[in-house]
Structure 1
Amino acid sequence: MAITELTADMFDSEVLQSDQLVIVDFWATWCTPCSMLVPILEEIAAEHTDIKICKINMDEAQDIAEKYGVMSLPCLIFFKQGKAVEECIGLVSKDRIVSLLPE
């Protein structure tokens, strides 16, 4: 499954109302570690088609980033049934992300 690019207008419908686990990557164009995380997320998206992976540009969705306390990038927030249930801050390994997925 491909990574979905979110806008602030899409956040509720794509993330909060989703019936599957959603990982949201908060990123910015100027963030080098954010760019380095993309291939890792693409691999996970290809291998785990039962989850949805989305990315949202923090500079364009500051209200959402503020709502979820995003202070450092990259920041991955795992949403289940509309609630934030887990978080990874910084450039993390594929193994770390996969370890947080439900069995």
Structure 2
Amino acid sequence: MGARVIALAAGATVGALVDAVRGGGAAAVIVVEVAPDIAALERHLILAAIAPLAIECAPATRLCAIDVGEGADPADVAALRDWLAGAECTTGQVVAVKRVADAGA
């Protein structure tokens, strides 16, 4: 069993997340990427569902999420995805990645 990534973008719903987690096959870890263009209410519902879904998946599967902010560096998102996939004692966490303001601004 390896890592599986669920990428959620505009139009995604908490129901779609639940279906993807429950029906996506066996994986040691699932990392959910929540794009910034998801409607605010649905985004909050998706993020709130991570901890209960992680409990449901345990102990066979770890589940974490990345809350991708507007303007976040894709390299930062990829690095965090890789870190979460290998962090064996981390489950149910939501980590936010946001744009870093220019140093001179």
* Superposition TM-score, scaled by structure 2 size: 0.34
Higher relative contact order (CA 8 A, sep 6+): 1
* Superposition TM-score, scaled by structure 1 size: 0.35
The structure whose Rg is larger is: 2
